[in-house]
Amino acid sequence: MKSPHDIILRPVLTEKGYDGIADKQYVFEVAVDANKVEIKKALEKVFKDIKVERVNTLRQMGKIKRQGRTSGRTPEIKKAYVKLTEDSKPIEFFEGMV
């Protein structure tokens, strides 16, 4: 079994991500092969005292980049939009960013 830190890679800190913090909705970049159940369990293990209501995921294909005649692709990423329950505590990492 993978460790929770192998599943959750980093938070996504964008304007859209900041707008959801007040509603207890957070955005994380996760491993491409992780499913919703694994993401939920990993978040509840890493951040104590939170309860995850739902997890929505999306895969973002890498952009095509060119260097002269050679073209390649940047790596694809997977994002997880996580909604916490109403009685759950907010994640402390995001507290000062609201």
Total domain count, the chain: 1
In a domain, 74, yes or no: yes
SS3 94: helix
pLDDT digits (tens, 9 = 90+) for 20-67: 998 999 999 999 999 999 999 999 999 988 999 999 999 999 999 999
In a domain, 92, yes or no: no
Instruction: Look up the CATH number of the domain holding residue 62.
Output: 3.30.70.330
Per DSSP, what are the bridge partners of residue 85?
Answer: none
Domain with 81 in it:
4-86
pLDDT category at 1 given cuts 50, 70, 90 is: low
In a domain, 31, yes or no: yes
pLDDT digits (tens, 9 = 90+) for 85-94: 999 888 888 8
Which pTM was predicted? 0.87
In a domain, 98, yes or no: no
